[in-house]
Structure 1
Amino acid sequence: AEGRYSLGTGIRFDEWDELPHGFASLSANMELDDSAAESTGNCTSSKWVPQGDYIASNTDECTATLMYAVNLKQSGTVNFEYYYPDSSIIFEFFVQNDQCQPNADDSRWMKTTEKGWEFHSVELNRGNNVLYWRTTAFSVWSRVSKPVLVRNIAITGVAYTSECFPCKPGTYASKKGSSFCKLCPANSYSNKGETSCHQCDPDKYSEKGSSSCNVRPACTDKDYFYTHTACDANGETQLMYKWAKPKICSEDLEGAVKLPASGVKTSCPPCNPGFFKTSNSTCQPCPYGSYSNGSDCTHCPAGTEPAVGFEYKWWNTLPTNMETTVLSGINFEYKGMTGWEVAGDHIYTAAGASDNDFMILTLVVPGFRPPQSVMADTENKEVARITFVFETLCSVNCELYFMVGVNSRTNTPVETWKGSKGKQSYTYIIEENTTTSFTWAFQRTTFHEASRKYTNDVAKIYSINVTNVMNGVASYCRPCALEASDVGSSCTSCPAGYYIERDSGTCHSCPPNTILKAHQPYGVQACVPCGPGTKNNKIHSLCYNDCIFSRNTPTRTFNYNFSALANTVTLAGGPSFTSKGLKYFHHFTLSLCGNQGRKMSVCTDNVTDLRIPEGESGFSKSITAYVCQAVIIPPEVTGYKAGVSSQPVSLADRLIGVTTDMTLDGITSPAELFHPESLGIPDVIFFYRSNDVTQSCSSGRSTTIRVRCSPQKTVPGSLSLPGTCSD
């Protein structure tokens, strides 16, 4: 009948104000050894939590299971929608039948969702079926994982005959024979079992799918925002104010504010570097081989080539390779709204529908075109870099996320800023030459309520600069090597390890024991001396130690041979425990010398691989370095054969030098970290730096490795961490 729906032989669970009848929510510590369970923290509160329209998983290292047992009269299906944005959580869905055998047909490991909610369906056999949704987070540092959300669980085959159910409040069914109920549109409502929705009174409003209407509040200055119009034919722009959508406030109530009048017209700012202004005041890219500062295009002089990239610092219209949207912080649906607005010399977060919305800005770069001197160097990870200047102005606990996506894979959070941050610059080094997306997401507050109190809390981006972009534009030209031909001279590339002489455009090899600055290979000053105890590799791209070191003193000469350390060695710190009692180790992989300076140490994040059936290859994030660290959760804890390796970090990307001195290039290896050597043979110290930049390590990390010789020892050498810092 109208106002009711039927799944035929099925049932649906779409209301999650409380755990529906028949569901069980269980939690357990991952430790498999029961005797250890007493001492390993309390997981009893780590469960799936009903939150109205959906149910949310735990976000800690406990294992939370949502279960539902059902007896099917005939074979059927279970389907549900899920939102799974964070790969640091393992999310499994599986079914056990009468014999407690899991269904072998379907992979139990769920894939992370790329664009909001996704749909999952599994066939069920007749008889008893137990459905399991299970989550465990492998995030043992301070960042809290984002929960998995599940909604609209439907199971068919439950009964011999079909049964009708009334539509829930906020939905309706206008026709007989409906298999689902439609949501009421905004500014309308319905009660249980309705055939249509009722319009709200003019002084009231409602969200989509509402069971009642709310009184419209008086409009305040938090209900509008400003933007700049695109340049008109006269080259002028105008500051305009707009009501935030959806407009729920009333201008007619006492004390309500009106929308401010538009500003006076002013001259448009210049185009961004690499673009020129057309006759109708739009900005177009300069053709390849030319450059501009935002006004007219100028051909690159002979002996130079354009340094292609994108530099955005004027914001009159959103660049064509950028887009903006809003992700609801309540139901995690994408809204057809603009999240960021252009404002002349910056772009900023507009007013969302609610303070917990994610205001999203994305820049897509098709690929990169680094200089030939960079391409020849397989050890040089830097293909390009992105630098942006931003600030956040917040009165509550706002967060700005910066994420990078490679080949449309899941966006990986790179950095997060919490609370107000003064105007500052951030640089990220791009290491893969492929289609890359950069995403900024700003959330004013995580409060789970629909309100608009903190519109004045904003994130602003003043400039974005990406280097070496394929099909990019240029704001300047750089010298190039010249190649003579019948029609004159043209740009070519120097061999690896050769610099360009600016005046003549000729190529010259770097002197011995120097390396070439590959992104700026101009003049002999581009050849940088290697540090002590090191020499250059064949293509002058890095300095390395060939496992031999000598030290002369007034009385004797010490000769060291480290060739046994050319291969990788591993070392684990002592066990650590999270607040919930999960045991983990910091695991280090080292490769010191030889191999022409190639980085041999690999640390991986295999949390992703655990979801992939045996025999299939998956994408696991790995880091290659001289020294790297990962967090290991051993197999006896996880129950997974290989254990879990996660959060790989590079501790050493560049060898600065090898010396017996305690300090080199501002890095110190304090003697008191280890027992003093007793044989009068000086310790040899390897000094490294890494490229990893974080808020706490703004200049990257530095690492020292102290090598000590004991000629009397016949046993193999040993590795140890400082006694005062076992991690």
Structure 2
Amino acid sequence: MTRRRGLALSNGQYSLGGGARFEEFYTLPPGFSVENFDANSLQLDDSTSLQQEPCPPESGWIVRDAELLYVPSPCVSRLTFSAKLVRPGFVEFSYRMPKNNRALSLHVDVRNQQCQSYREAVQSMLTKYSPKSSKGRREESNGDWQKRTLDLRNGANVISWTVTNSAGRKAPSEPIRISKIDILGLAFTRECSLCPPGTSSDGGAAECTPCAPGFYAPKGAAKCGRCPQTQYSGPKSEHCSERPACRPSDFYPVTEPCVNGTTRTTYKKVQPAVCRDDIIGAATMPEPSATRTCPPCNPGMGKDANGLCVFCPVEHFSQGDTCQRCPVETVPNYGFEYVQWDTMPPNIATRCEYIKVNTVCDIGEAWLPSGTALVSAPSLQKGIAMEFELTVAEGFSNPLAPVDLPGSPQSPVAHFSIVFETSCADSSCVLYVIESPIMFSKSSQYRFLAAFNGSQPRRVWSHSILKRSSAKYMIAFLRSGSTSGEDSIMDQARILSINVTNIGSKAGLQGGGASRCLPCPKGRFGKCIPCPPGHYMTPNHILVCPKDLDKLKCAYWDGLDWDVTIPLSGSRDGIRRDIEKGISGATVGARKTNHPGSWPTRLAPVINTKLLGTGDQKPRRVSLSPPENT
């Protein structure tokens, strides 16, 4: 037994002293109330009151399955708690917004004896909830779970959690979850509370510690017990479950790095490794495959000296084999084009999130490369969302468009597209596509892009990108029954290809690789590969400059405009005539100009001209006879 400020605490108990904790929601706790309002009756007059409206059954703020939830409803729903503080304190609560939350607005409001006006309260409620820190408000995050703290003054305080839903009855069904609410600053109490199931305390604690996976604890436990060897448990478990027999899907293939042009496939156990292979009829881990020739890389990539696939260098392209330099008058289409899934491509990171439990989820890789697709892991862990993020740190740039041209729905800067399919037990499974906040963004809000419920045949989804800034995209898969902790283990999502176009560059580093080189439109220079030093060019020719100027770029002509670095004569027409005479092999007469750095009075013979092919044609060399001297 331990004493905490004169309070004797036994093992398996905790106390906040001058505070109250709410984390077991079998019914709505004392001091809490719920009000539902007609969203169309909101008025800003201080003298009016909101008209209460019965929400559809089992919607708004409710208690269900020992959880405090907001289930999307067409009405406005407010959860309120009243408390009298004897000293300044705070309210701290942990909550989880649904993946698809663009229609939901959560506003947390504190009113005390110096409360704000009714008009201000309603206006604040209708303002989109912002997670930014401000005076008296602090927020932390752990994956999808957020922890928010608001300061309270001494005296009477009314805390309210108000949710508005702009989608009405068409809102998604995934709820907002509150896992715990702490109120500090109350009168000191000698009351002790038993630790909830799945947690423990060895005495003298202000809170109970959740049990780790593989452990369990009944209510009021002093210590979490370890599951027997033939059983397993998830995090914060009240009991253990029997470990099932292994299935073939409990093992996934891994392609080893290439060595001397060959590789092989080995196998690993899906994490957490809870299945048993010592039961009659259980699947066992497959043997490694025979060595084979290394598979090709993804388009825009080639193998390095170690046989690993890396993006091609700047101004190079590849179809997954050898990186080749792009021809002059073309521009590489830098991007991510992932169609090969023998190994995890660059810039993709996988993770998992517990839907109902605010703790770290660790099942190893949540998505697994399987050769033909990236597939969701067949994990035995329940109540999880399997996610992967694709990061485009370099941002976006359309090389064929003017740099200052803003993106629009009619002319986007880039595109992000996936080809996918899902197989589910029922329609409650869902695949989300989400734009994640980037680390240096001012906003920490997820932006929902699309959702697909139930089994989906192979289909293509595409998104237009209008901004040039860095971006991060998340694909999240929730299996059937996952929101209630009864996941259908056989559900699976398969990503067959990912394509992100027009990836830009940052800090001198090019993002992604090019699968081909695009012809430059006439009349534009943009980021097209220029005439190399010591040459001048036309749409189909590169011509060598005179020997005494072979280290300088003379001129560049794309068919309409000239890019001149050394003046040839006093006018653009004169430049055109000079180049045309050089191309035709005709003699160039003496020209004397006053331009610094102008050409000499006589051009040397033009020889060793390279003629560029188009499309898949390889460049070929031709020789021109030296022009006749004059």
Q: Do Structure 1 and Structure 2 share a fold, with TM-score over 0.5?
A: yes
Q: Within the alignment, does 1:111 sit opposite 2:130 as a pair?
A: yes
Separation in 2 of the partners of 1:227 and 1:244?
10
Q: Please say if residues 254 and 268 of structure 2, whose CA atoms lie closer than 8 Å, have aligned partners that are also in contact.
A: no
Q: Residue type matched to 1:276 in 2?
A: G
Q: Please say if residues 424 and 454 of structure 2, whose CA atoms lie closer than 8 Å, have aligned partners that are also in contact.
A: yes
The Cα of 1:21 is off from its aligned counterpart by 2.8
Cα distance change of structure 1 residues 37 and 284 upon mapping to structure 2, 3 Å threshold: closer
- The 3-state SS of whatever aligns with 1:90 is strand
| Aligned counterpart, 1:487 | 534
Cα distance change of structure 1 residues 296 and 81 upon mapping to structure 2, 3 Å threshold: same
Alignment of 1:153-172 (within 5 A): 153-160=181-188, 163-172=191-200
Q: Residue type matched to 2:170 in 1?
A: S
Q: Please say if residues 329 and 530 of structure 2, whose CA atoms lie closer than 8 Å, have aligned partners that are also in contact.
A: no
**Structure 1, residues 315-372: CA drift from partner, whole Å, max 9, x if none?**
2222221111112233365523322111123211111344653221221112112125
| Aligned counterpart, 2:517 | 477
Cα distance change of structure 1 residues 190 and 62 upon mapping to structure 2, 3 Å threshold: same
Residue among 471, 478, 502 paired with 1:436 = 471
Alignment of 1:636-715 (within 5 A): none
Residue among 128, 138, 142 paired with 2:156 = 128
| Aligned counterpart, 2:493 | 459
Cα distance change of structure 1 residues 69 and 78 upon mapping to structure 2, 3 Å threshold: same
| Aligned counterpart, 1:688 | none
| Aligned counterpart, 1:507 | 560
Cα distance change of structure 1 residues 424 and 436 upon mapping to structure 2, 3 Å threshold: same
Residue among 228, 233, 236 paired with 2:254 = 228
Separation in 1 of the partners of 2:244 and 2:91?
43
The Cα of 1:432 is off from its aligned counterpart by 0.9
Separation in 1 of the partners of 2:335 and 2:288?
35
Residue among 75, 79, 83 paired with 1:66 = 79
The Cα of 1:428 is off from its aligned counterpart by 2.0
**Which stretch shows the higher mean deviation, 297-306 or 105-114?**
105-114
The Cα of 1:221 is off from its aligned counterpart by 4.3
The Cα of 1:181 is off from its aligned counterpart by 1.5
Separation in 1 of the partners of 2:300 and 2:538?
20
Separation in 2 of the partners of 1:162 and 1:123?
24
Larger radius of gyration: 2
Q: Please say if residues 139 and 145 of structure 1, whose CA atoms lie closer than 8 Å, have aligned partners that are also in contact.
A: no
The Cα of 1:193 is off from its aligned counterpart by 3.3
The Cα of 1:201 is off from its aligned counterpart by 1.9
| Aligned counterpart, 1:142 | 170
Separation in 2 of the partners of 1:270 and 1:485?
32
| Aligned counterpart, 2:327 | 301
Residue among 385, 392, 396 paired with 2:415 = 385
Q: Residue type matched to 1:165 in 2?
A: S
The Cα of 1:485 is off from its aligned counterpart by 7.9
Q: Residue type matched to 1:478 in 2?
A: L
| Aligned counterpart, 2:451 | 416
Q: Within the alignment, does 1:346 sit opposite 2:373 as a pair?
A: yes
Q: Residue type matched to 1:153 in 2?
A: I
Name the Cα RMSD after superposition.
3.6
- The 3-state SS of whatever aligns with 2:164 is strand
Q: Please say if residues 368 and 377 of structure 2, whose CA atoms lie closer than 8 Å, have aligned partners that are also in contact.
A: yes
| Aligned counterpart, 2:430 | 399
The Cα of 1:278 is off from its aligned counterpart by 2.2
The Cα of 1:190 is off from its aligned counterpart by 2.5
The Cα of 1:435 is off from its aligned counterpart by 0.6
The Cα of 1:163 is off from its aligned counterpart by 4.6
Cα distance change of structure 1 residues 240 and 249 upon mapping to structure 2, 3 Å threshold: same
Separation in 2 of the partners of 1:255 and 1:439?
38
Q: Which runs of 5+ in 2 are unaligned?
A: 3-10, 132-140, 505-509, 540-555, 563-630
Separation in 2 of the partners of 1:491 and 1:329?
61
| Aligned counterpart, 1:18 | 27
Separation in 1 of the partners of 2:21 and 2:355?
24
Q: Within the alignment, does 1:468 sit opposite 2:498 as a pair?
A: no
| Aligned counterpart, 2:302 | 276
Q: Please say if residues 367 and 388 of structure 2, whose CA atoms lie closer than 8 Å, have aligned partners that are also in contact.
A: yes
Q: Please say if residues 324 and 340 of structure 1, whose CA atoms lie closer than 8 Å, have aligned partners that are also in contact.
A: yes
The Cα of 1:279 is off from its aligned counterpart by 3.0
Separation in 1 of the partners of 2:93 and 2:42?
34
Cα distance change of structure 1 residues 373 and 280 upon mapping to structure 2, 3 Å threshold: closer
- The 3-state SS of whatever aligns with 2:391 is strand
Q: Please say if residues 15 and 52 of structure 1, whose CA atoms lie closer than 8 Å, have aligned partners that are also in contact.
A: no
Number of aligned residue pairs: 496
Separation in 1 of the partners of 2:183 and 2:53?
37
Separation in 2 of the partners of 1:442 and 1:309?
25
Residue among 225, 238, 255 paired with 1:211 = 238
Separation in 2 of the partners of 1:260 and 1:197?
36
Q: Please say if residues 354 and 451 of structure 1, whose CA atoms lie closer than 8 Å, have aligned partners that are also in contact.
A: no
Q: Please say if residues 116 and 334 of structure 1, whose CA atoms lie closer than 8 Å, have aligned partners that are also in contact.
A: no
Separation in 2 of the partners of 1:312 and 1:57?
39
Separation in 2 of the partners of 1:147 and 1:461?
27
Cα distance change of structure 1 residues 210 and 447 upon mapping to structure 2, 3 Å threshold: closer
The Cα of 1:89 is off from its aligned counterpart by 1.0
Q: Residue type matched to 2:412 in 1?
A: E
Cα distance change of structure 1 residues 122 and 483 upon mapping to structure 2, 3 Å threshold: closer
Separation in 1 of the partners of 2:318 and 2:191?
70
Work out which structure has the larger RCO, using CA pairs closer than 8 Å and 6 or more positions apart in sequence: 2
Q: Residue type matched to 1:469 in 2?
A: I
Cα distance change of structure 1 residues 507 and 331 upon mapping to structure 2, 3 Å threshold: farther
Q: Please say if residues 37 and 52 of structure 2, whose CA atoms lie closer than 8 Å, have aligned partners that are also in contact.
A: no
The Cα of 1:265 is off from its aligned counterpart by 3.5
- The 3-state SS of whatever aligns with 2:41 is coil
Q: Please say if residues 177 and 356 of structure 2, whose CA atoms lie closer than 8 Å, have aligned partners that are also in contact.
A: no
Cα distance change of structure 1 residues 217 and 145 upon mapping to structure 2, 3 Å threshold: closer
Separation in 2 of the partners of 1:393 and 1:277?
34
Q: Within the alignment, does 1:194 sit opposite 2:221 as a pair?
A: yes
**Structure 1, residues 237-296: CA drift from partner, whole Å, max 9, x if none?**
444443332233333445433334444443321111222112321112221122122222
Identity %: 30
Separation in 2 of the partners of 1:170 and 1:485?
69
The Cα of 1:3 is off from its aligned counterpart by 3.1
Cα distance change of structure 1 residues 90 and 136 upon mapping to structure 2, 3 Å threshold: same
Cα distance change of structure 1 residues 395 and 8 upon mapping to structure 2, 3 Å threshold: closer
Q: Within the alignment, does 1:88 sit opposite 2:122 as a pair?
A: no
Q: Which runs of 5+ in 1 are unaligned?
A: 493-502, 510-727
The Cα of 1:107 is off from its aligned counterpart by 7.4
Separation in 2 of the partners of 1:87 and 1:449?
22
Q: Residue type matched to 2:419 in 1?
A: V
**Structure 1, residues 589-641: CA drift from partner, whole Å, max 9, x if none?**
xxxxxxxxxxxxxxxxxxxxxxxxxxxxxxxxxxxxxxxxxxxxxxxxxxxxx
Q: Residue type matched to 1:506 in 2?
A: G
Q: Please say if residues 228 and 239 of structure 1, whose CA atoms lie closer than 8 Å, have aligned partners that are also in contact.
A: yes
Separation in 2 of the partners of 1:139 and 1:437?
26
Q: Residue type matched to 2:71 in 1?
A: N
| Aligned counterpart, 2:212 | 185
**Structure 1, residues 648-679: CA drift from partner, whole Å, max 9, x if none?**
xxxxxxxxxxxxxxxxxxxxxxxxxxxxxxxx
- The 3-state SS of whatever aligns with 2:401 is helix
Q: Residue type matched to 2:335 in 1?
A: G
The Cα of 1:420 is off from its aligned counterpart by 2.7
So what's the TM-score if we normalise by structure 1? 0.61
Separation in 1 of the partners of 2:346 and 2:185?
50
